[in-house]
Structure formats: structure tokens, C-alpha cells
Amino acid sequence: MFGQPLLVRTVPPRPTEQGQKLLALLRQVELLEEEWLGDEQTGSTPLLLSLAVNADSLATWLLPALAPVLADSPIRLNLQVEDETRTQERLRRGEVVGAVSIQHQALPSCLVDKLGALDYLFVSSKPFAEKYFPNGVTRSALLKAPVVAFDHLDDMHQAFLQQNFDLPPGSVPCHIVNSSEAFVQLARQGTTCCMIPHLQIEKELASGELIDLTPGAISTTDALLAPLCS
């Protein structure tokens, strides 16, 4: 690494591949120092903890899970939102020290811990269902019913519709919205039908504000994983 360029002269500057590796090493050292010094660090500058997380985890279980740690430790969070299939890329580039991911294979010098899983339901409001699915959720009806995806690489809806209704990718109208909470709002207001974690819409389902369009057809993500640099 010595003698190699670490920065690209752009505005703002960005690290080269070797620079990214050096940043990743620095963040690992900071975490090890925090673990080694323990209580001796009390009152010092809070540790910056950079994590790559997917939007659905951030909107459901992640913040409550972090609450006890944040209450007991001087930590500043830097949460970087990315699709769960791509969070490991940020870890690989050294932008974060941990990632919530669905990738089972650990990166070099990293560990993988199983956290759990999220069950997704295909839901909409009752008025939406009455408008688009008067005769039930069928393949032909779905061709006219708008869905929503997190970004252009988010294929969860495509995979679900292809598996359950033999609909090829790109065959249904699709909004692009980079917000997990907005998915719920879009479904509630009757704009779309969409895949949403059951954990995120328990109240809406119980009240009848949202309905499960395909009972029994649950899409469960692979176990959510946290690849942590060792």
C-alpha cells in the first residue's frame, strides 16, 4: 500500500481502491480501541459507527434493537440506506464497518451473524382491490395494477409476481420510491399494491385499512445477516 495513491483528485476528493482499504482498516482499529479501552473511554469523543442497512429493517426492527446500545455507549450512528442485496458492497469498499444483508457469504476478514428474517405480504387498500381486482387477484388484472419498488434494481415484486402469477419482469406498471414508509402510505391511500413487511403493517391489517391480497403467499427474505469486520 505504501507509495500507492490513496485519493483521486476530484471535487470532493474520493478514495482509490487502496484508499478505501485504508479507511476500512482505520474504522476497524477504532472499533477495536473502543472494545479494548471499555469504560476508560467514557466521556471521550463518541465512536462513529457506520452501518449499511436496508430501508425495511430501518423502518421496523433496527432502531429498537440499537436503542439499548445507544443508551449505554457513546456512539454516533452513520446509517447508510441501501438495498439489502447491495449493502455488502459498501462494506467491501470500506464505507461502513457492518451491513445488514441477505448475502450469506462473508467478505474477506469479515464475519456473518444471523439476525432473523422478514415476512412480506402483498397488500393494498380495500378501495384499490375493488377497483383493480373486482373478480379476484388474477394474472390479467395484475397487468393493470400499479406496484412500487424501492429503486430500479429492486426486484422483489417482480420475483413474487413471476413466482405466483407467471408474470415476466417489467410487465406491470411500477412506481419508484426510495422510502419504506412511503410504501405504506401509497398502499393506504389506494395508489398501489405492494410488498410490505408484515411487522410494519400489523395495525393496518388488524383495522382492515390494508388487506392481504394473496393470503398464504408470503415472501420471506433470506435470513438477514450482519457481516461485521473482524
Q: Which three cell numbers stand for residue 48?
A: 462513529
Q: How confident is the model at residue 7 (pLDDT cuts 50, 70, 90)?
A: low
Provide the 8-state DSSP code for 213.
S
Q: Which three cell numbers stand for residue 106?
A: 462473508
DSSP string of 57-92, one letter each residue: HHHTTHHHHHHHHHHHS-EEEEEEE--TTTHHHHHH
User: Domains of the chain: which residue ranges?
Assistant: 7-117+223-229, 119-220
Top CATH class of 7-117+223-229 equals alpha beta
Q: What pTM does this model have?
A: 0.78
Decide if domain 119-220 falls under CATH 3.40.190.10: yes
pLDDT tens digit sequence for 135-182: 999 999 999 999 999 999 899 999 999 999 999 999 999 999 999 999
Q: Which three cell numbers stand for residue 205?
A: 391489517
pLDDT tens digit sequence for 119-139: 999 999 999 999 999 999 999
Q: How far is 182 from 194, CA to CA, in rounded Å?
A: 11
Do 7-117+223-229 and 119-220 show the same overall fold? yes
